[in-house]
Amino acid sequence: MGGTTGLHGLMLARRQAFDCLAHATLMRAAALGLEPRYLQWLREWELSFGQTIAAADRLLGAGGDDRRRQAEALQRFAEAQQQQFARQLERLAGDNETLRTNAETEAALRFILREQRTARYITQEQVTMHASGPPGDLTITGEGSWSIKPLADASAAESGAAAKADSAAPSYVLPLLPYSFDALEPAIDAVTVREHHGVHHRRHVEALNRAEVMLSSADAAGDAAGCVAWMREAAYRAMEHELHALYWRSMRPAAGRAGDADARGGPAPGGALADALARDFGGAEPFRRRVAAAARSVAGCGWAFLAWLPQRRRLGIGSAAHDRWLADRHAVPLLALDMWEHAYLRRYGADADAYIAAWWTVVDWPAAEARFAAAVRG
Ligand SMILES: [Fe+2]
């Protein structure tokens, strides 16, 4: 990496992530008729690249002797991220009928693949670094601190005979946390967040990838019972993965800390969402009580969530226990509250009410309002 500060590498990593983000967004916009799971896959990549950009920006604004080491880690991660994205795009292009039969979509895909194949953002020093270790998943471990973990998304799907039966299925990826592990303190402790994200959410992502592969294998073998079983497993894992991803985005650092809440708009809904909560539930407080009741009903084994119900043109509160997916498949979840024990047991024990009360202090209302506005627009 050029220089001793890591600035050159940081700029390369940022540019690489920025280009990939643009490609994912372009692909999603151009791919008319693409199945929802592929669109979700592209959205997850967009989120992941956005977080890499944010990480680069944060390091660019940081000083200190440790920046070079962290910059190298970030550049290594950005390179692995781009390679994996390109690899999955190639697989998608080779196997997805929608992408081949729509001229505009095919042109966009051809352009993106050409860019991805020729893009190189690494220096000779980075080539040497790559040869010495595997790429990894970047996880926030503290302010400006990063660690490398093995990638969980593609390796399982790319090895073994089962993978050959399903070269079309994109691997799901564990999204990066949009904040550090301790950012939700004191409402949710750092150890819980670390294990929740790195163990529990990761386990669902890996199981979802495996279920997708096994479903294709069962389908190829004409195993009807196997198809039903793996389809059910995939649906459950997909629900858990999607709700976990929303759960992380339903919270923001320090939203409820003393002296900070008011300055950031306070832990209360605003705008059109506040109006809709008043219309559909009688206000913010009745809404909170109903969410708490829904959450208590699935304490230890499920989820409570706020969703937009497009067919009824109103908000709804729901819960999902065990492997039961949302009753209304058209519902658009806006906020998700994880009520599985792993989300709160360490700090709150069996006191689910205390966890629910603490969760309100870190709810990211501006993000919920943005999701609500998008959902209403359709
Ligand atoms: Fe969870």
Q: How far does residue 205's CA lie from ligand 1's centre (Å)?
A: 12
Residue 324, pLDDT score: 61
- More confident site: 140 or 293: 293
Residue 5, pLDDT score: 60
Percentage of residues in the chain having pLDDT higher than 90: 32
Highest-pLDDT range among 117-121, 228-232, 273-277, 312-316: 273-277
Q: How far does residue 150's CA lie from ligand 1's centre (Å)?
A: 21
Q: 304: pLDDT confidence band, cut at 50, 70 and 90?
A: very high
CB 338 within 8 A of CB 247: yes
297-302 — which CB contacts under 8 Å span 24+ positions? 297/321, 298/339, 299/339, 299/352, 300/339, 300/340, 300/341, 300/352, 301/339, 301/340, 301/341, 302/339, 302/340
Q: How far does residue 208's CA lie from ligand 1's centre (Å)?
A: 15
Q: Which sign does the torsion angle of CA 339, 342, 347, 348 carry?
A: positive
Q: How far does residue 337's CA lie from ligand 1's centre (Å)?
A: 9
Q: How far does residue 239's CA lie from ligand 1's centre (Å)?
A: 11
- DSSP letters for 349-365: TT-HHHHHHHHHTTB-H
Q: Is the pLDDT of residue 151 over 70?
A: no
Domains detected in the chain:
1-132 (no CATH), 190-249 (1.10.287.990), 271-377 (3.55.40.20)
**What DSSP character marks residue 45?**
H
Q: How far does residue 204's CA lie from ligand 1's centre (Å)?
A: 9
Q: How far does residue 200's CA lie from ligand 1's centre (Å)?
A: 6
Q: How far does residue 244's CA lie from ligand 1's centre (Å)?
A: 6
pTM to 2 decimal places? 0.57
Residue 136, pLDDT score: 33
Q: Is the pLDDT of residue 299 over 80?
A: yes
Mean pLDDT of 333-353: 95
Q: How far does residue 325's CA lie from ligand 1's centre (Å)?
A: 15
Q: How far does residue 109's CA lie from ligand 1's centre (Å)?
A: 35
Residue 65, pLDDT score: 67
Q: How far does residue 342's CA lie from ligand 1's centre (Å)?
A: 6
Lookup: tokens for 152: 């969980």
Residues with CB under 5 A from ligand 1 (ion): 200, 338, 340
Q: How far does residue 44's CA lie from ligand 1's centre (Å)?
A: 18
Q: How far does residue 216's CA lie from ligand 1's centre (Å)?
A: 27
Alpha-carbon distance 233 to 43, whole Å?
Answer: 22
From residue 219, give the alpha-carbon distance in Å to each of 162, 163, 165, 229. 11, 13, 9, 11
CB 241 within 8 A of CB 205: yes
Q: How far does residue 113's CA lie from ligand 1's centre (Å)?
A: 35
Mean pLDDT of 271-275: 94
Q: How far does residue 324's CA lie from ligand 1's centre (Å)?
A: 15
Q: 160: pLDDT confidence band, cut at 50, 70 and 90?
A: very low
Q: How far does residue 217's CA lie from ligand 1's centre (Å)?
A: 28
Q: How far does residue 343's CA lie from ligand 1's centre (Å)?
A: 6
Helix axes 284-297, 271-281, angle to 10 degrees: 70
Q: Is the pLDDT of residue 261 over 50?
A: no
Lookup: tokens for 139: 């996880």
Residue 119, pLDDT score: 62
In degrees, rounded to 5, the angle at the alpha carbon of residue 117 between the alpha carbons of residues 111 and 118 is 95
Q: How far does residue 298's CA lie from ligand 1's centre (Å)?
A: 13
